[in-house]
Amino acid sequence: MEERMPLIGEPLPQLEVKTTRGVKNLPGDYQGKWLVLFSHPADFTPVCTTEFVAFQNRFDEFQSLNTELMGLSIDQIFAHIKWEEWIRDNLDVEIQFPIIADDGTVGRRLGMVHPGKGSNTVRAVFIIDPKGIIRAILYYPQEMGRNFDEILRMIKALQVVDAEGVATPADWPNNELIGDRVIIPPPQDVETAAERQGQYECYDWWFCHRDL
């Protein structure tokens, strides 16, 4: 039976990958850190180049969130290295995160290769928590670049969710109803539902929110 791709809430499969920064073992080498593992269709392509610059320009902010970055495409190591050199020499941006040189094995195992879009990887993003659990998966078509501020927002929100035991509303921290407040998980019994509106600010017993 063919292995299916892992889903949100499941562990990232154990993978040994060859990267521009040496051999890495996933997710073990990143235990205790968040990891953004992302695929791009190919080196030396314009949309991918803008994405790598965008990731690198936010590198310090990702680091401040205890988050590492790792790229992937079905290209050889020498192509990754030459592309990094081109970005440095022509755009004055030094890529500081590893890029996986994949023969297609990793991309197929993680569902990054979509037959309707050819044999290259699509623009996938896996956000993996410090325990190696996949917390979010994003897919973008090859012809459309990603929103990198949204990826940062997701990591910040997931860290708040874990630390506070809450949920975050649409467009958090700029929600149209409750601003930067967070949502209390709905009660699971009648007694808690009756108490809820006296404990928090609520629209109703199932929709209560608070400041961080």
Q: Which residue numbers are catalytic?
A: 48
Kindly list the distances between the CA atom of residue 195 and the CA atoms of 6, 164, 184, 205, in Å, as whole numbers in the listed order: 39, 20, 13, 8
Mutual orientation of helices 46-57 and 77-91 as an angle, nearest 10°?
70
* CA gap 19, 102 in Å, rounded: 9
Give the Å distances, CA to CA, from 140 to 12, 40, 76, 161: 20, 10, 23, 25
